[in-house]
């Protein structure tokens, strides 16, 4: 059973509380100052719509699922992330449907001749948090996030969604999404997460450069130098694996790079990418 989200609480006043929201999961609205503080490119504020409830950052606070504040009005080249081969699979375990994971379903997985080591939905969870928490998202430069599961199911995550921070709640949202095909904010038409048709390439902007990531690529680059060399009007599509083992496919990528001499977690890889972009775009 999925727990309801975005129970509106009073806004946090202290600096530590704003940064560490895991301690109080029920408070989902961030202070405007927190959302805008780091960006040198000043976010453009919009006049609040009186008919809709708005937090101080201009993000809508919805009953169904919380939305993170960000400057979505920026009309500059942006960035798209694709998480490939995400281990997000639903199965009936006992009497209920569950999102399979290696900790809770090891016996079930072995009985069904699956290797528990491959069943790691936490990788996609951490990767999504790394993307959505990044300053470049808060500065409005994230255009879209697409996740493709190991089974080939493709879904879109809107950049302004606040993905649950705890794994248990994340797994509830993923279960709901994979069963009902979309998650819509209550009282709104907009789907915040929704299953979409393959191939993912049809959603990329025309002027985009698709960059795949793997530790095993022979082209080892320094990420900051790499993004600096890309023209400012090019939309960047970063394709990162969200699986424990194996390699992403290279069918649609223009370039295939390694960004460290060490194997990184997907979240660490994303952190390097977003930091390099923040430096390039002067987002602090
Ligand atoms: C948990 S890793 C997957 C492990 C897999 N054995 C591999 O090396 O690709 C998740 C993803 O992070 C990215 N990644 C990890 N280390 C990297 C590196 N040194 N350079 C570039 N990308 C890396 C890849 O996209 C990889 O699919």
- Give the chain's domains with CATH numbers: 71-88+117-280 (3.40.1280.10)
Instruction: Choose among 65, 54, 87, 74: nearest CA to 3.
Output: 65
CA 197 to chain centre: 19
The pLDDT value recorded for residue 68 is: 56
Nearest CA to ligand 1 atom 20: 258
List the structure tokens of 238. 């970063």
Whole-number Å distance between alpha carbons of 166 and 147: 19
**How do strand 154-157 and strand 142-149 relate by DSSP bridges?**
antiparallel
The SS3 call for residue 85 is strand
| C-beta neighbour count of 148 within 10 angstroms | 22
**119 CB near ligand 1 (under 6 Å):** no
List the structure tokens of 112. 């069904």
Whole-number Å distance between alpha carbons of 67 and 57: 11
Q: How far is the CA of 116 from the centre of ligand 1 (A)?
A: 19
Q: Relative to the CA of 248, which ligand 1 atom is closest?
A: 27
For residue 118, what is the DSSP state? Answer: G
Q: How far is the CA of 257 from the centre of ligand 1 (A)?
A: 10
Which residues does 233 contact at the CB level (< 8 Å), separation at least 6? Answer: 77, 207
Q: How far is the CA of 241 from the centre of ligand 1 (A)?
A: 6
CA 174 to chain centre: 13
List the structure tokens of 171. 């797994």
CB 35 within 8 A of CB 57: yes
The pLDDT value recorded for residue 191 is: 92
Q: How far is the CA of 219 from the centre of ligand 1 (A)?
A: 13
**124 CB near ligand 1 (under 6 Å):** no
- My answer on whether omega of the bond before 115 falls inside 30° of 0, hence cis, is no
Nearest CA to ligand 1 atom 15: 264
**127 CB near ligand 1 (under 6 Å):** no
Whole-number Å distance between alpha carbons of 28 and 5: 9
Nearest CA to ligand 1 atom 6: 245
Task: For ligand 1, pick from 127, 211, 269, 276 the residue to mutate: most ligand atoms within 8 Å of CB.
Answer: 269
Residue written as token pair 């694709």: 82
Nearest CA to ligand 1 atom 26: 241
25-44 CB burial, b ≥16 within 10 A, e <16 = eebbbbbbebbbeebeeebe
**How do strand 154-157 and strand 191-196 relate by DSSP bridges?**
antiparallel
For the chain, the average pLDDT equals: 81
Q: Relative to the CA of 257, which ligand 1 atom is closest?
A: 21
Q: How far is the CA of 184 from the centre of ligand 1 (A)?
A: 32
The pLDDT value recorded for residue 185 is: 83
Q: Relative to the CA of 262, which ligand 1 atom is closest?
A: 19
69-84 CB burial, b ≥16 within 10 A, e <16 = bbbbebeebbbbbbbb
Q: How far is the CA of 260 from the centre of ligand 1 (A)?
A: 9
Task: For ligand 1, pick from 266, 267, 276 the residue to mutate: most ligand atoms within 8 Å of CB.
Answer: 266
Whole-number Å distance between alpha carbons of 243 and 229: 29
**266 CB near ligand 1 (under 6 Å):** yes
* pLDDT tens digit sequence for 160-218: 999 999 999 999 999 999 999 999 887 788 899 999 999 999 999 999 999 999 999 99
Q: What is the pLDDT along the chain (284 residues), one digit of tens a residue?
A: 444 444 344 444 444 444 444 332 222 323 333 333 433 443 443 333 333 333 333 333 333 455 555 554 445 788 999 999 999 999 999 999 999 999 999 999 999 999 999 999 999 999 999 999 999 999 999 999 999 999 999 999 999 999 999 999 999 999 999 999 999 887 788 899 999 999 999 999 999 999 999 999 999 999 999 999 999 999 999 999 999 999 999 899 999 999 999 999 999 999 999 999 999 999 99
């Amino acid at each position: 059973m999925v727990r309801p989200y975005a129970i509106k609480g009073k806004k946090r006043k202290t600096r530590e509380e704003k940064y560490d929201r895991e301690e109080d999961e029920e408070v989902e609205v961030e202070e405007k100052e927190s959302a805008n503080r780091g960006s040198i490119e000043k976010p453009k504020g919009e006049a609040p719509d009186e008919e809709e409830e708005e937090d101080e950052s201009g993000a809508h606070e919805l009953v169904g699922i919380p939305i993170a504040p960000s400057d979505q009005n920026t009309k500059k080249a942006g960035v798209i992330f694709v998480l490939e081969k995400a281990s997000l699979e639903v199965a009936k375990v006992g009497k209920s449907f569950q999102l399979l994971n290696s900790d809770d379903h090891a016996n079930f997985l072995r009985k069904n001749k699956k290797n528990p080591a491959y069943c790691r939905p936490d990788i996609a969870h951490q990767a999504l948090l790394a993307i959505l928490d990044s300053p470049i998202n808060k500065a409005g430069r994230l255009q879209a996030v697409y996740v493709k599961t190991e089974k080939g199911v493709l879904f879109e995550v809107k950049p302004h969604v606040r993905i649950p921070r705890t794994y248990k709640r994340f797994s509830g949202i993923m279960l709901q999404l994979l069963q009902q095909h979309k998650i819509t904010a209550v009282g709104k038409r907009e789907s915040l997460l929704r299953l979409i048709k393959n191939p993912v390439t049809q959603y990329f902007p025309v002027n985009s450069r698709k960059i795949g990531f793997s530790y095993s690529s022979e082209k080892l680059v320094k990420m900051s130098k790499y993004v600096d060399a890309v023209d400012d009007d090019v939309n960047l599509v970063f394709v990162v694996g969200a699986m424990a083992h194996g390699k992403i496919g290279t069918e649609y990528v223009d370039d295939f790079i390694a960004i460290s001499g060490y194997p990184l977690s997907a979240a660490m890889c994303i952190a390097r990418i977003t930091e390099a972009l923040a430096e390039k775009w002067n987002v602090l």
